[in-house]
Copies of this chain bind each other. A is one copy, B any other.
Amino acid sequence: MGFMQALRARWSAADTLVCVGLDPEPAKFPQTFAADPDAVFAFCRDIADATAEFACAFKPQIAHFAALGAEDALERLIAHLHAAHPGVPVILDAKRGDIGSTAQRYAVEAFGRYRADAVTVNPYLGRDSVQPFLDHADRGVVILCRTSNPGAGDLQDLIVPDDGGGGRPLYQHVAGTIARDWNTHGNCALVVGATWPAQLAEVRAIVGDMPLLVPGVGAQGGDAEAVVRNAKSADGTGLLVSSSRAILYASPGDDYADAAASAARSLRDTLNAAR
């Protein structure tokens, strides 16, 4: 089963739009992990196991593993996610982008080595830089559109010509180009930040029912209800609302797993109430 089918099946079976982000920061781990040489794996595994029932996807962020030299822990973590939670797709958050011959190597990294079901990529280098990912028709390619950070607009909001002789922001051009030209295998999704509800609505109007990965609720301040109101697809799904720190570090104590589950459940309920 390909990523898109798995995602739609999960939305239907689990009734949740929550994507659990796995961004390990050892300084924030509960004290119980202080003496654990495999703390990065063990903490992420515990969080994933506690939150799986509320998750439509898991999203490990590779920088947090790479900075620690913990690629091996990431490999084992994704293997665990597939084995223990086979219905929950895994999105590797890597935001890769390079010329075609190098992009092929990054695709091997994400899909071959790490066995991710989907990967985030950057569109700045153009279609041929994304094509090696798109060619894996059974994997998802989650492309940056309008990001959640304060400086997102520096490039993404610049006005570029549209087809009708007018202009539109670059992020809308990116959304339109991907929906029209890049999505030939039906395996594209877009990253649009929760911090910009108006932009979410504009992107949704452009891309039909394409899934949107929405970071920025929780620690970054995005309004979860506004996200759903503005960006759900026609059938009330279409969203992966990602939360990382607010779930992972919900409690610094021994109840970290229960606290993470409560945070994920609460976000699920908030999102579902707005559907």
Size band of the interface chain A makes with B: 35 or more
Least CB separation from A161: chain B residue: B159
Q: How far is the CA of A109 from the CA of B122 in the complex (A)?
A: 19
A126 x B149 contact (CB < 8 A): yes
Interface check A204, CB cutoff 8 A: no
Option from B64, B75, B112, B124 in Cβ contact (under 8 Å) with A122: B124
Q: How far is the CA of A126 from the CA of B171 in the complex (A)?
A: 13
Q: How far is the CA of A173 from the CA of B170 in the complex (A)?
A: 13
Interface check A265, CB cutoff 8 A: no
A128 x B105 contact (CB < 8 A): no
Within A96-132, the residues touching B (CB, 8 Å) are 96-100, 102-103, 105-106, 108-109, 112-113, 122-129
Task: Assess A64 versus B105: contact at CB under 8 Å? Given A144-B125, A149-B126, A154-B127.
Answer: yes
What's the least CB distance linking A79 to chain B, in Å? 14
Stretch at the interface among A7-15, A66-74, A82-90, A230-238: A66-74
Chain B residues with CB under 8 Å of A215's CB are 99
Interface check A243, CB cutoff 8 A: no
B113 x A126 contact (CB < 8 A): no
A102 x B23 contact (CB < 8 A): yes
A152 x B125 contact (CB < 8 A): yes
B108 x A67 contact (CB < 8 A): yes
Interface check A150, CB cutoff 8 A: yes
Q: How far is the CA of A154 from the CA of B63 in the complex (A)?
A: 27
Interface check A177, CB cutoff 8 A: yes
A-B contact pairs, 23 of them (CB 8 A): A61-B102, A63-B106, A63-B109, A66-B109, A67-B109, A67-B112, A95-B97, A95-B122, A97-B97, A99-B148, A99-B149, A99-B215, A100-B149, A122-B124, A124-B124, A126-B149, A126-B151, A127-B154, A129-B147, A155-B170, A155-B173, A158-B160, A158-B170
Binding site for B on A (CB under 8 A): 23, 61, 63-64, 66-67, 69, 71, 75, 95-100, 102-103, 105-106, 108-109, 112-113, 122-129, 144, 147-156, 158-161, 170, 173-174, 177, 215, 220
